[in-house]
């Protein structure tokens, strides 16, 4: 940035054709710096510029230097240097050809596999959603689009956008999560928020033994959404038959319940099902919960006409105050 009296000059923008490459490089470095912040928050030991090669290896398995150079559209010497840096970082293993360096093969190390798996869960979806917010409605000349991107990133960086709760990353719950999940379910379902069941149920919605039993019976069915070290939401997702999944126990921390995060968690749940080949989601809602039923209907979950009996004989989830309770079945076809 060059400064003249009364005016700040961006030489890369003012000479937009002459210095286009430098301007794009500046923009790339800014975005990579933000990705690095997101990766550090998630505890991922990868530099942004290292991701493309690691992503190729994750997708293709062991790959020669020549094939990596072709996929990256870079020279073999450049790829050789990058691979050497990744090897020093412990992220890849290299088997060098004895006579032909083009046959040198690069593969992910165990550390690299773990880092990529964590990145795919906690970094990539956040970054992709943040970039989507910046670029999805762009139109007009290319140089004008670049200027718009720069303005939007100046207003709110990619790293800041990843903290807005615009996307939920789901992970299977582990044993250490049980106390936090029990607390979340009881606050969400027995508290004073709009999602509370307190008007027709007493007692706890969940307890330690019940949650652990369910997790043992259906490993990876109970999913959590973390923000840092805090569990912000949870949901129960189980495949039934013929591409149909059951969704239950969807809960958001009541302290942030009016921030639209329920919609975010529901959308992430639908994505989870789609990614595993699911085509429909089925759920049951207690008939007296008119507000919750309407909330799901606005999101495409419609009554099937089926009902199910309320388990009055089972007090594990609380004790009902009414004798007219039943479950209404809702279903949604995923696009």
Q: Model pTM greater than 0.75?
A: no
pLDDT in tens, 269-301: 999 999 999 999 999 999 999 989 999 999 999
Fold agreement between 11-161 and 170-333: no
- Render pLDDT for 58-77 as a digit per residue (tens, 0 to 9): 999 999 999 999 999 999 99
Please name the residues in contact with 325: beta carbons below 8 A apart, sequence gap of 6 or more.
200, 286, 287, 288, 310, 312
Do residues 210 and 299 lie in contact, with contact meaning Cβ atoms separated by under 8 Å? no
CATH class given for the domain over 11-161: mainly alpha
For the chain, which residues make up each domain, given as ranges? 11-161, 170-333
**170-333 has which CATH code?**
3.40.630.30
Q: What tokens were used for 176?
A: 């250490």
Ramachandran angles phi, psi of 142, nearest 5°: -55, -45
The tens digit of pLDDT for each residue in 156-190 reads 888 887 775 556 789 999 999 999 999 999 999 98
- Tell the burial category of 225 from Cβ atoms under 10 Å away from its Cβ (0-12, 13-18, 19+): buried
Nearest Cα to 163, choosing from 251, 254, 256?
Answer: 256
Which residue bears the tokens 């961006």? 10
Report how far residue 235's alpha carbon sits from residue 172's, in angstroms, rounded to the nearest whole number. Answer: 10
φ, ψ (nearest 5 deg) of residue 260:
80, 10
Q: 159: number of CA atoms within 13 Å, CB side?
A: 14
Q: Which pLDDT band, with edges at 50, 70 and 90, does 2 fall under?
A: very low
CB atoms within 10 A of CB 32: 15
């Amino acid at each position: 940035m060059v400064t003249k009296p009364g005016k700040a000059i961006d030489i890369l923008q003012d000479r937009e054709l002459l210095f286009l490459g430098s301007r794009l490089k500046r923009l790339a470095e800014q975005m990579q710096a933000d990705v690095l912040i997101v990766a550090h928050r998630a505890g991922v030991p990868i530099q942004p510029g290292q991701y493309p090669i690691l992503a190729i290896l994750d997708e293709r398995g062991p790959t020669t230097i020549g094939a990596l150079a072709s996929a990256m559209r870079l020279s073999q010497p450049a790829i050789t240097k990058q691979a050497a840096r990744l090897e020093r970082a412990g992220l890849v293993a290299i088997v060098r050809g004895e006579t032909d360096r083009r046959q040198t093969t690069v593969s992910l190390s165990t550390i690299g596999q773990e880092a990529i798996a964590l990145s795919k869960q906690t970094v990539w979806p956040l970054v992709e959603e943040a970039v989507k917010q910046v670029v999805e409605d762009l139109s007009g000349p290319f140089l004008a689009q670049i200027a718009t991107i720069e303005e939007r990133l100046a207003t709110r960086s990619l790293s800041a956008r990843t903290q807005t709760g615009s996307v939920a990353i789901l992970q299977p719950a582990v044993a250490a999560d049980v106390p936090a999940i029990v607390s979340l379910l009881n606050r969400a379902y027995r508290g004073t928020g709009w999602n509370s069941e307190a008007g027709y149920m007493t007692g706890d919605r969940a307890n330690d033994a019940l949650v652990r039993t369910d997790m043992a019976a259906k490993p990876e069915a109970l999913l959590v959404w973390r923000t840092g070290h805090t569990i912000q939401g949870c949901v129960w997702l189980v495949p039934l038959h013929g591409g149909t999944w059951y969704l239950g126990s969807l809960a958001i921390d009541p302290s942030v319940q009016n921030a639209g995060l329920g919609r975010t968690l529901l959308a992430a749940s639908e994505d989870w099902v789609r990614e595993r080949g699911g085509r429909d989601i089925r759920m049951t809602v207690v008939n007296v919960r008119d507000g919750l039923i309407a909330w799901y209907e606005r999101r495409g979950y419609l009554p099937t006409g089926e009902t199910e009996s309320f388990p009055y004989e089972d007090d594990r989830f609380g004790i009902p105050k009414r004798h007219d309770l039943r479950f209404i079945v809702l279903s949604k076809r995923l696009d």
